[in-house]
Structure 1
Amino acid sequence: MLTAKEIERLAVEKYLQASNQSYEIEDFESPDFILRGKGKKIGCEVTEFYPDYSPKGSDLRQRERYLNNFHQKLKTKLFEHYPQGYTIDINYKPYISEKSSTDLEVESVFFNIKENVNSRYINDPSKNIRGIFIHKIGDFPILISQMIATDNITPKAEWLIPIIESKTKLMQNWNSTFNEKWLLISIGPSRAGDISINRIKNLDSVKYIL
């Protein structure tokens, strides 16, 4: 599982690749990365997009972390007991219905899968899972995947403004001098929004002031 820093670095690499640019990437703290190349030194701040972003945090981000932690624990347990023979696709609900003990929920869901492993679908096995699809694949190694559903709310350009304003203030306090300052708002790595940038309307109404 990638660390938060590795996910941020991946976002920078993907952006540079997509925009056909080449820079050396140096891990840093504030900014997140320093890019060097073409005689330039660029400060690059990376943040993930969440529709409910605010300077105080994001409930969706907390929910994503909870589900990722839960999924890793369930995945480990399933690998131990079913090393081969199945694909198991877990479809999580858009929001956490109730925060309970992760370990207790893992045990409950695992027991449910164990009791219904020959079924093709388990409906609503826990408060945080919509359904589990199970397919037999013979002697092949087990495959376990996760999907976190969205709430299907059409994103708006205004949702980006709090991120830009908050990060702009942070960037003004950087100690080093940079030729350019970049704010990279990463949508892809986050499963909390599952949003394509093409769906964000009136993107040109957002002003970037550094």
Structure 2
Amino acid sequence: MLTKKEKERLFLEKYLDQLEEKFEIESTESPDFILTRNNYKIGCEITDFYSDYSDTGSILKRSEVYVNRLHKIARKRIKERYPKGYSITIHYNHIVINHLKFIEEAKSLEEEIRNYINERQIINPTPNIRRVTILKRNHSTIINLSVTSNYEDTKEEYINCIVKSKSQLASKWFSNFESNWLIICAGASRSSDLDLRDISSNDKFELHNWNKIILVDIFTSEILEIKENSKINYIAF
């Protein structure tokens, strides 16, 4: 499985292919990547889109991390107890309301499933799980993950908040490069809804010293470029 950095680099390479521009790409700690062509250097930072992004972080992102870790532990425990005969779907809340210890919540879930394994549905088995559905099957047990959708229309202020925050973090290296790009990606995570069709102009965007803002919808393979004093540019890859 690719690391987050490797995935970011793959996307960056695809994006540059669409521009038909050849750069040497260097992975660094800060910025994420340095692009070089004929001694012209670009600092490039890549981040995920979350609609609740703030200076203190994202509750949606923290919830997603919690659910992923909890599901990994719960899946292992349930499959060890029931290696064959079931298709079980665990429906998590999209916002984690109680950050318990992963193992404790996984144990509680396993106990609830053991007690109600012959039922088709278990309601609110633990604080962060809405329900569990259980179907009997003649194959190895499958444990599915489901999270309630929290889709919201894309708003410029969501993006501006990310741009401003990333600019503050990047200010220490801005002057090292001839140009600085910020790439904001949606689609790599369950909680990062970004619909580029909701954006029609760049009038409400603030660049905060970035030379180019690049919005990416991985699901639709669409890219939107925002530059100062320039019309929005849409690209499909």
TM-score by length of structure 1 reads 0.79
- Cα distance change, pair 89–203 in 1 and its aligned pair in 2 (3 A): farther
Q: Is the 8 A contact 2:25 2:33 kept in 1?
A: yes
Q: Between Structure 1 and Structure 2, whose CA radius of gyration is higher?
A: 2
Q: Is the 8 A contact 1:32 1:46 kept in 2?
A: yes
Q: Greater CA deviation, 131-140 or 108-117?
A: 131-140
Q: Which residue of 2 aligns with 1:17?
A: 14
Deviation of the 1:128 alpha carbon: 0.8
Instruction: Indicate the SS of the match to 2:6.
Output: helix
- Cα distance change, pair 118–37 in 1 and its aligned pair in 2 (3 A): farther
Cα distance in 2, alignment partners of residues 38 and 128 from structure 1: 53
Instruction: Indicate the SS of the match to 2:65.
Output: helix
Q: Which residue of 1 aligns with 2:162?
A: 163
Q: Which residue of 2 aligns with 1:138?
A: 138
- When the two structures are aligned, how many residues end up with a matched partner? 205
Instruction: Give the residue type in structure 2 aligned to 1:174.
Output: W
Counterparts of 1:53-132 in structure 2, within 5 Å, are 53-132=53-132
Instruction: Indicate the SS of the match to 2:53.
Output: coil
- Cα distance change, pair 100–19 in 1 and its aligned pair in 2 (3 A): same
Instruction: Give the residue type in structure 2 aligned to 1:192.
Output: S
Instruction: Indicate the SS of the match to 2:134.
Output: strand
Cα distance in 2, alignment partners of residues 121 and 199 from structure 1: 38
1:187 and 2:186 aligned: yes
Cα distance in 2, alignment partners of residues 203 and 147 from structure 1: 35
Q: Is the 8 A contact 1:7 1:189 kept in 2?
A: no
Deviations 1:51-91 (A, max 9, x none): 22112222222222222221121122123223333332222
Cα distance in 2, alignment partners of residues 119 and 15 from structure 1: 48
Deviation of the 1:18 alpha carbon: 5.9
Deviation of the 1:93 alpha carbon: 1.0
Q: Greater CA deviation, 171-180 or 154-163?
A: 171-180
Cα distance in 1, alignment partners of residues 40 and 79 from structure 2: 48
Cα distance in 2, alignment partners of residues 188 and 196 from structure 1: 8
Cα distance in 2, alignment partners of residues 64 and 164 from structure 1: 22
Cα distance in 2, alignment partners of residues 41 and 143 from structure 1: 49
- Cα distance change, pair 9–38 in 1 and its aligned pair in 2 (3 A): farther
Q: Which residue of 2 aligns with 1:150?
A: 149
Seq. identity, %: 33
Q: Which residue of 1 aligns with 2:195?
A: 197
Cα distance in 1, alignment partners of residues 81 and 143 from structure 2: 13
Cα distance in 1, alignment partners of residues 101 and 50 from structure 2: 25
TM-score by length of structure 2 reads 0.71
RMSD: 2.9
Deviation of the 1:103 alpha carbon: 2.2
Q: Which residue of 2 aligns with 1:51?
A: 51
Structure 1: runs of 5+ lacking an equivalent = none
Q: Which residue of 1 aligns with 2:222?
A: none
Deviation of the 1:25 alpha carbon: 4.6
Instruction: Give the residue type in structure 2 aligned to 1:9.
Output: E
Instruction: Indicate the SS of the match to 1:52.
Output: coil
